[in-house]
């Protein structure tokens, strides 16, 4: 299923970049030129991510209201885009709580990679298929040993990383196999074309 990604920026350049780096097969892109349009989008959908330009920073109150809306929708990762010489007031950064901050010029591939990785991490459940027990007996059942929440979080993070690495490896293999198949099809078609021409030349001769 494609992810809903909002791009809130009034720059045609950023819109063009996003259209080129986020494929339609994986992302549904929604564009907003100002905070009013952004709020209208948030009325109708729950995005998996938000790319927000600092050019839309009209007031601190507006950012606080936006952050409240994002919290109400559930955790929505925010990727903040700023100009080369932008300086973000601390209270603005605290208000919006961006997951990543990019200053122009930046590598569009890095933005695409960060957005995809962050969204995929959030799609992985916080709990594993079989929950680790809060306590477990070792040896004697009458002597329970409590597993600390921090250890549980560490184990979950490790599992999440393993899942993501497995997905990336599968994606690489699929691309490699597809490339191999396409190459074979091209070679086969080329050989058939050459054979057809050769038969035609012999008949004409």
**pLDDT band at 5; cut points 50, 70, 90:** very high
β-strand pairing of 27-32 with 3-8: parallel
Closest by Cα among 43, 151, 171, 61 to 159: 151
What is the pLDDT at residue 31?
93
β-strand pairing of 27-32 with 49-53: unpaired
What is the radius of gyration, based on Cα positions, of the chain?
25
* Residue range 30-75, pLDDT digits in tens: 999 988 898 899 988 888 989 988 887 777 777 788 888 888 888 8
Q: Which two tokens stand for residue 154?
A: 């560490």
**pLDDT band at 107; cut points 50, 70, 90:** confident
Higher pLDDT, 118 or 170: 118
Higher pLDDT, 63 or 174: 63
What is the pLDDT at residue 146?
62
Q: Which two tokens stand for residue 32?
A: 């907003």
Task: Provide the 10 A C-beta neighbour count for residue 164.
Answer: 14
Q: Return mean pLDDT, the chain.
A: 77
Give the integer Cα–Cα distance in Å for 63 and 57.
7
Counting residues of the chain whose pLDDT is more than 90, the rounded percentage is 8
What is the pLDDT at residue 137?
44
Q: Summarize the confidence of residues 138-162 as an average pLDDT.
A: 61
Q: With 70 as the cut, is the pLDDT of residue 13 above it?
A: yes
Closest by Cα among 129, 127, 71 to 95: 71
- Reported pTM: 0.57
* Residue range 176-194, pLDDT digits in tens: 677 777 777 888 777 877 7
Q: With 80 as the cut, is the pLDDT of residue 113 above it?
A: yes
Give the integer Cα–Cα distance in Å for 125 and 76.
15
Give the integer Cα–Cα distance in Å for 189 and 65.
60
Q: Summarize the confidence of residues 113-120 as an average pLDDT.
A: 90
Q: With 70 as the cut, is the pLDDT of residue 161 above it?
A: no
């Amino acid at each position: 299923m494609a992810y809903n990604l909002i791009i809130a920026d009034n720059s045609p350049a950023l819109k063009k970049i996003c259209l080129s780096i986020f494929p339609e097969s994986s992302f549904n892109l929604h564009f907003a030129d100002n905070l009013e349009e952004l709020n209208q989008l948030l009325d109708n959908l729950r995005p998996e991510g938000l790319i927000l330009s600092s050019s839309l920073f009209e007031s601190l109150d507006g950012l606080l209201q936006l952050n409240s809306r994002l919290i109400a929708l559930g955790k929505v990762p925010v990727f903040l885009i700023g100009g080369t010489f932008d300086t973000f007031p601390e209270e603005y950064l605290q208000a919006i709580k961006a997951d990543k901050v990019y200053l122009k010029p930046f590598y569009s591939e890095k933005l695409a990679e960060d957005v995809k990785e962050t969204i995929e991490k959030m799609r992985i459940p916080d709990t594993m298929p079989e929950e680790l027990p809060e306590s477990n007996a070792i040896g004697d059942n009458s002597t329970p040993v409590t597993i600390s929440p921090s250890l549980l979080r560490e184990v979950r993070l490790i599992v999440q990383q393993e899942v993501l690495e497995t997905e990336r490896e599968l994606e690489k293999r699929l691309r490699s196999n597809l490339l191999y198949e396409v190459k074979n099809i091209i070679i086969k078609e080329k050989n058939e074309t050459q054979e057809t021409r050769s038969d035609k030349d012999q008949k004409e001769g």
